[in-house]
A and B are shown apart, each in its own frame.
Chain A
């Protein structure tokens, strides 16, 4: 069947060959017309130069070559794919024939023989050679038989001329001797097949050279893979992993002088509209590498990227001396009795002892390690004597950087909107609130987390654990540990993972004896257990995964049932465990599992989970479940590449719940994939204007600015308008990167 098709095509092609020349001329004329105002000209003369080139090069073979090419460009679709999602393809391909420039028609042949010879040369693994050859020989055996012979006759002398060519015959000999049972087919096809383009993409062509034994030992033969709708005809040699920018000969002719191609390319190529935005909450998204790996809790290795710049700033500033607060109460480690003065309402030892409720006991309970336990016992037995404890067993934290305050929004306003506009920006900072827990809460609530981190720093400095106090003996109270917890939690929230890790470090595994109440018998008489908040342990454990060490995170989490990264199966298992403990969140969690599967591409399993949710939500009626079901369906459509249906489902949610931010945003995203940029923009802008309090979210703003960039060259003004809107509402913890103003 293929044979017939091929012949038909051939016939057609040979007719169109003659036309091809005419077409080129025509096209050139056309282009000249258009080139009236030629600006980028590098490719502009491609038609001319290539036309000339081919004619001068081997004008004798010109028609032959054309014929050859035409034979080659026949695309016999052996792919069921074509009918599936590439309906337009055949049409496209037909056009190529017309559009094909002379260069395309002619140059590949020469290249082919060259590259093929090179390929063989480098392949020390002999078994592969006959393999490759026969691959082609048989793949389209029937249809190409005759052509092969023709080509072989034509191309072989050329190969020989290339000096490299002699490697080809020798290889064949070798391969024959290696396999005494010479198959008629292989030996027959090898000389013919030699010049045929093969897409030799053994990924480790180099390795083959250096360690050929590997392949011989395991007996596995590397196979070439190709796109199914890509017939052997198109298997033009492409050198193995062409990751280096290395234009193939035909491409360099495309750009003129091949020597300069690399330089030219740099200045020459436009970049796709993308961004370097690293989301605060989705640091993965920053890199292509981890992009698709982001899972429930995968927060990849890039977190460092976002953390780095700020960190260096912090460090720089820290050199410039302590914050003003440290002057008021500058303290080195203090005797126990004085500590409590620092914080109003701090633990009254007697009251504490009396009020030791069941709740407290449960909350503080923690099993110390053997070593720690010994220390605690010795503290208990020698109550008031000064005890020598190895420094290594003590927790001696200190601020590692003492000022990360700053308002990126204001900085941007200064840059883009001028001083006057920037003056209007009023956010709370560490100075403008009460220097206490109350002020701290105020800062957290108003999303001024950077200022809150600073305030924690000041309060800790007051406690003698300020900048530079790292490694100096100190005492701990429940309050100082709470302050540390808040500071570290906010650093994590701000994606300053490395800063958090640095300051976490002195706490070790949160099991040192001085972190237990028993260590301070006269401050907390009778009180037992750990002063470390449980949430701080979780934070400590989870921090590692954000830093790209999920294994360490797992180790730390140990028996804590929490979601772990990168291993999706484990993640799903963990979710199932969580469901047992939070049955009321079951539909959400099942949907979450479904999304995990969707994210790794396992659409079928995702569907299964979504169906479970649907069954379940039949019992619970109510808007929330209706929305959840629709949301899941929409995601499923997305997974099936059906953006139109997905859009419909998201729109349906909006009908039920017009204020649904997620559905609004997602519907807009779908519109973009449907080629409706303006509609998409209108939807997003509409929702932001309608309720800025809710919709000025990092993710929405990122989508919006991306679309502005795609829309026109004048995205700047629109982005600045967004900045103004943000300035009104957001605190200093806002991730300005999503505005892409940098």
Chain B
């Protein structure tokens, strides 16, 4: 700006006000009883106050709306709304007025004006009004650039701009954690549990309208955030539908691979896209915000080339009595047919029955075989089934399977008593 030049007096004035939702006026009720010194004076004054609720004057939360009192905070995912008013302060008619509102973010510049057409003329003391809306998609510094150009009565072309800067903050902190349900014995599918922690890092309470997991094409999702109580589904968060500042909530989802994907691949390997969380929240008088996470990814548990999973196992067995389990062995490699040898190693508590080192035969890629095994435990309590080894005779590679399941071992006497 040229310092020497005196500031140009403009005929038009530009005013900008952010339009957050209005707030409800609150009263501070101070009451007294008839026999107190002021008598019914205080109560009468409250009755006469136009901002109190008639018939229930002591309610603090009134019905009178007040305009936003300051700029406030704006968070990613919320909508930035602003009133732009251009007023003719002069006493002459101004022509060809063009008002342009741009939003400059750190990466781009957006035009927010509703119309880009010039207004032919603006009489004295008249306004050009515009309400702009923009869903905030970036964090950090935003600058609202308002430019006004017009022509004076004398034909002079005038132009000025104003800059309004504001910071967009992050409203939520989202963390996720995957649990692989591989001990799921009944199904061939691999269930995945997703636990998501969502923290309100704003300074006001936040009503969580929707927190859903949009699964990727491979999965079906079941939300585990409601409990069925007498036919009615009740939120696990109880009646508290909102998150206080800094509060965190945990959401749980169960994902099952769709049949076609589960079967095609045999097992899901490597990194898979699970889906994304979609979060919608509301604050004061329904001010809305919405965010999504990026695609959540999960590293499938490493089964290596050969996966051994349990199909059946009893939960409780008697001490020193043999019991049967069924294993499923899957060749997870892409093209290699395997020739496997099964070795069974005893542990302190687990003793395998039968011959160790037997040939299992050829196993083609993506195929599996079922194997019935017998074992017994010599120690009471919760015992871990361990000690299975599979040897790939071609690659001379051994795969170890320990702690594949747990079984409760009880004394047979105890069982009889029951």
Contacts and interface: CB of A to CB of B under 8 A. Distances in A.
A269 B146 CA distance: 11
Interface residues of B, number: 147
B33 A533 contact: yes
Contacts of A371: none
B27 to A, nearest CB: 5
B21 interface: yes
Contact of B107 (A234, A601, A635): A234
B362 interface: no
Contacts of B126: 678
Contacts of B49: 697
Given A100-B109, A232-B294, A222 B174 contact: yes
B149 interface: yes
B170 A225 contact: yes
A694 interface: yes
Contacts of B175: 218, 220-223
B16 interface: yes
Contacts of B286: 598, 601, 603, 638-641
B13 A712 contact: yes
* Residue in B59, B106, B162 with the greatest tally of chain A CB atoms within 10 Å: B106
Contact of B159 (A37, A204, A296): A37
Nearest to A637: B286
Given A139-B294, A535-B31, A711-B127, A234 B137 contact: yes
A248 B163 contact: no
A134 B297 contact: yes
Given A234-B107, A272-B18, A447-B45, A592 B72 contact: no
B282 interface: yes
A711 B66 contact: no
B61 interface: yes
Given A272-B17, A599-B284, A711-B127, A181 B293 contact: no
A226 B137 contact: yes
A43 interface: yes
B89 interface: yes
Contact of B157 (A33, A203, A270): A33
Interface in B152-175: 156-167, 169-170, 172-175
A709 B45 CA distance: 31
Contact of A703 (B36, B67, B106): B67
A297 B67 contact: no
A619 to B, nearest CB: 15
A138 interface: yes
Nearest to B56: A588
A203 B173 contact: yes
Interface stretch (A11-19, A91-99, A401-409): A91-99
B36 A533 contact: yes
A224 interface: yes
A86 interface: yes
A578 to B, nearest CB: 9
Interface in A63-98: 73, 79, 81, 85-86, 88-89, 92-93, 95-96
A468 interface: no
B181 interface: no
A539 B38 CA distance: 14
A350 interface: no
B36 A694 contact: no
Contact of B76 (A227, A296, A486, A710): A227
Given A234-B108, A539-B30, A268 B157 contact: no
Q: In this complex, which of A483, A599, A678 has the most chain B Cβ atoms within 10 angstroms of its Cβ? A: A599
A269 B170 contact: no
B209 interface: yes
A293 B63 contact: no
A227 B290 contact: yes
A294 B110 contact: no
Contacts of A665: 64-65
Interface string B86-125: 0101000000000000101011111110100000000001
Nearest to B156: A37
A707 B66 CA distance: 11
Contacts of A136: 294
B69 A638 contact: no
Interface string B60-83: 111111111111110011010011
A710 B1 CA distance: 26
A589 interface: yes
B284 A485 contact: no
B39 A96 contact: no
Contacts of B61: 294-297, 592, 595-596, 599
B130 interface: yes
Contact of B73 (A288, A589, A603, A631): A288
A670 B45 CA distance: 28
Contacts of B67: 669, 672, 702-703, 706-707
A444 B45 contact: yes
B131 A675 contact: yes
15 contacts: A96-B110, A181-B299, A281-B27, A288-B71, A294-B23, A479-B37, A486-B36, A535-B36, A595-B24, A598-B285, A638-B285, A639-B285, A674-B131, A676-B129, A712-B15
Given A99-B102, A227-B137, A599-B61, 6 more contacts: A228-B77, A238-B140, A270-B164, A273-B16, A299-B28, A601-B287
